[in-house]
Amino acid sequence: MIRPPFFLARRFVAGETLPEAIEVVRRLNDRGLSASLDILGENVKDPAAVRAARDDYVGLLDEIARTGVDSNISIKLTMLGLDVGEAFCEENLHVVLSAGRERRTFVRIDMEGSRYTQATLDLFHRVLPAYGSASDGRGAGVGVVIQSYLYRSAADVQRLNEARARVRLVKGAYKEPPEVAFPARDDVNRSYDELMRELLAGGAYPAIATHDDERITRTRTFAAERGIPVSAYEFQMLYGIRRRLQETLAAQGHPVRVYVPYGRDWFPYFYRRLRERKENVAFVARNLFRE
Active-site positions read: 110, 168
Give the number of residues written for the chain. 291
SS3 track for 47-78: HHHHHHHHHHHHHHHHHHHHHCCCEEEEECHH
CA distance 229 to 205: 11
CA distance 150 to 160: 15
* DSSP 8-class letter at 181: B
**Is 58:97 a contact under the CB 8 Å cutoff?**
no
CA distance 130 to 236: 26
3-state secondary structure of 2: coil
- Give the CA distances from residue 69 to residues 45, 119, 173, 291, in Å, rounded to whole numbers and listed in that order: 32, 32, 28, 33
- Beta-carbon count within 10 A of 83 CB: 17
Q: What single string gives the DSSP state of each residue in 131-172?
A: H---TTS-SSEEEEEEETTBTTHHHHHHHHHHTT-EEEEE--
Q: 137: alpha, beta or left, given left = phi > 0 and alpha = psi -120 to 50?
A: left
